[in-house]
Amino acid sequence: MMFKRAMKMKNSAILVVAIVTTVFCLGSSAFAQSGITGPSQMNRCDQGSFTITVHNDSATPACNLVVTSTIPASGFSYVANSANISFCGSHEPTVNGNELIWDIDALCGMTQLNPWYYFTISYDLLTDCEAVSGSNDVRIDYSDCPTGGSYNDTDGISIEVLPGGGGWRQCYLDLDSRKLGPWRY
């Protein structure tokens, strides 16, 4: 009888250890988080600055980092030469339709984002005179360096486009360059 109890206790202890080990293993995978900040309201014909933050919230390095910002399709455009990656300077994204794509390894020569480290990408967007409200969504694709497993994280910010204000000057210049004269709406 005493032997059975000891065996039961031994099996329980093994089960608990196995559970703790499993939880620890899951917790050690790379976990990169993305976030985006910027104006939640912009006027038409206005320029706004946005910042993406990528943070490795794990005990293992993250590799193969690709950051994609999907800007609103209607009336928003990337301002050329406005992008800056905090640890490696000014680097233009690949523009594919309404997506801005930064391949961090290719642009900066960084092979991994070490545990608990972060970096930022800042850039500007311009609204045209026909812009409508939308969202600026960011996605980071990455892999866990030790295991090679692929992961991603997403975030976004809604942008409400307001009808007026300081945008008049930009629209005036655009119209004037086509010799249509001053225009106010």
**Residue 121: CATH number of its domain:** 2.60.40.740
Q: What is the distance of C-alpha 59 from the center of its chain?
A: 21
69 assigned to some structural domain:
yes
Residue 163: the pLDDT is 87
Answer yes or no: is 76 within a domain: yes
Q: According to the model, what pLDDT value does residue 111 have?
A: 83
44 in any annotated domain: yes
**pLDDT recorded at residue 73:** 86
Task: Establish if 110 belongs to a structural domain.
Answer: yes
Which residues lie closer than 8 Å to 63 by C-beta, 6 or more apart?
30, 105, 111, 112, 113, 142, 143, 144, 145
Number of domains in the chain: 1
Residue 112 structural domain: 29-177
146-158 in b/e form (b: 16+ CB < 10 A) is eeeeeeebebbee
Q: In the sheet that 134-144 helps form, which strands lie side by side, from edge to edge? A: 41-43, 150-162, 134-144, 62-70, 99-103, 94-96
The answer to whether residue 16 sits within a structural domain is no
Please identify which residue in the block is written with the tokens 């997403």.
154
Neighbours of 34 (CB within 10 A): 23
Instruction: Establish if 1 belongs to a structural domain.
Output: no
The reply to whether 185 falls in a domain is no
Residue 17 maps to a domain: no
The whole model's pTM is what? 0.74
pLDDT tens for the chain, 185 residues: list them.
Answer: 443 333 343 443 322 222 222 222 223 456 767 899 999 999 999 999 999 999 999 899 999 999 999 999 889 999 999 999 999 999 999 999 999 999 999 999 988 999 999 999 999 999 999 999 999 999 999 999 999 999 999 999 999 999 875 444 444 444 444 444 444 43
Q: Which residue has the tokens 């600055």?
A: 49
Task: Please tell me the distance from the alpha carbon of residue 113 to that of residue 61, in angstroms, as a whole number.
Answer: 5
**Which pLDDT does position 32 carry in this prediction?**
67
